[in-house]
Amino acid sequence: MNLQAMLVDPQRFVTLYGSVPPRATASPEKIERAADLLAERVRNLPIDGLVVYDVQEETGRTSEPRPFPYQPTIDPRIYSRMLQDRTGLQAITYKSVGELGEAGWVEWLHAAHHDYQIGQFILVGSSIPVPPPDTLFVDRAMQLAQEHVTTAMLGGVVIAERHTPEYNESQRLVLKAARGSRFFVSQVVYDPAPTLQLLSDYVQACREHSQTPRRIVLTFSPCGRPGTMTFLKWLGVAVNPDAEREIFASAAPFSTSIEICSNYLRTIFEQVDESIPLGVNIESVSTHPDEMAASAELVHALRAVADEYRKEQVVSSS
């Protein structure tokens, strides 16, 4: 079964592994080495596919200074193809469409799909609160994609933290699905409460619009360094204060963060409506060896939680 089929199969739980492309300044040898190392890391992991991010500077998103300097990366479609060739797994490729323009976006997508053999994309809009008038918005980019590259599967981002009365994220998910989004991937979860509220409201919104819920892939990431936690907060991730204190009071912070992530996924499984097909994406965006190793451990931990829950479902329905 290919990744597109997995993503739309409501009976299947999907596990993904996300990474950032190498820096644009890296030599070809270093880029090749990075792809080789990641392929080796995921070789024996129980995953169904990969996620490759399109990193943006995001200076206009917040007035807070960026914790780490912005480092442009190579084109995500290049890295996606390298990883697909090395692992035999298909990649979901993020693309920020805001600055491309309509013709540039169609050209990029056509090459990504036909030349780089990438089948799944997540479209990301501008991070600036009030973008320039000539900005290409995600809704228009999705329309163009459906007109010009009809066999590409399109997805979107879901951010529980922006689900407010002023910006109803659940209604936005319904609208995005109606316009072509087949699945959604969240930002990192370090507090289940916003996610649970959003998922509950999303189920209700789907019922109101007679729409089948799309797959929601929840992103988790190990965290064992204060700097990493600061960066997650800068990105807008809601972090449960108790979890943060527990992680950094621990003698083994990575193990503690993995346990917390596992408990959060278990809590979501226990409370979410079963009509929403879920998945997980384990994010590995650090260059620190211990954080990369912890991401592999987190894959196994979250899959164990998912398998346990699915077994319980089978028993309860029999």
Right CATH number for 3-310 from 1.10.287.3510, 3.20.20.220, 3.30.420.10, 3.20.20.120? 3.20.20.220
From the list 316, 273, 287, 294, the residue with the least C-alpha distance to 23 is 287
The one-character DSSP state at 14 is E
3-state secondary structure 250-295: CCCHHHHHHHHHHHHHHHHHHHCCCCCCEEEEEEECCCCHHHHHHH
Between CA 19 and CA 270 the distance in angstroms is: 28
- Identify the pLDDT of residue 133: 73
C-alpha angle with apex 273: 297 to 294, nearest 5 degrees? Answer: 10
- Identify the pLDDT of residue 309: 86
Q: Where are the domains of the chain?
A: 3-310
3-state secondary structure 181-226: CCEEEEEECECHHHHHHHHHHHHHHHHHCCCCCCEEEEEECCCCCH
Conformation bin of residue 25: beta by default, left when phi > 0, alpha when psi is -120 to 50: alpha
Per-block mean pLDDT, blocks of 10 residues, the chain (318 long):
94 96 95 96 96 80 70 94 98 93 94 96 80 84 95 96 89 95 97 97 97 98 93 91 97 97 97 96 84 95 93 58
Q: How many CA atoms lie within 13 A of 161 on its CB side?
A: 15
Count CB neighbours of 308 within 10 A.
Answer: 12
Reduced to 3 states (helix: H, G, I; strand: E, B; else coil), residue 92 is: strand
- Identify the pLDDT of residue 194: 96
Between CA 235 and CA 86 the distance in angstroms is: 30
- Identify the pLDDT of residue 121: 98
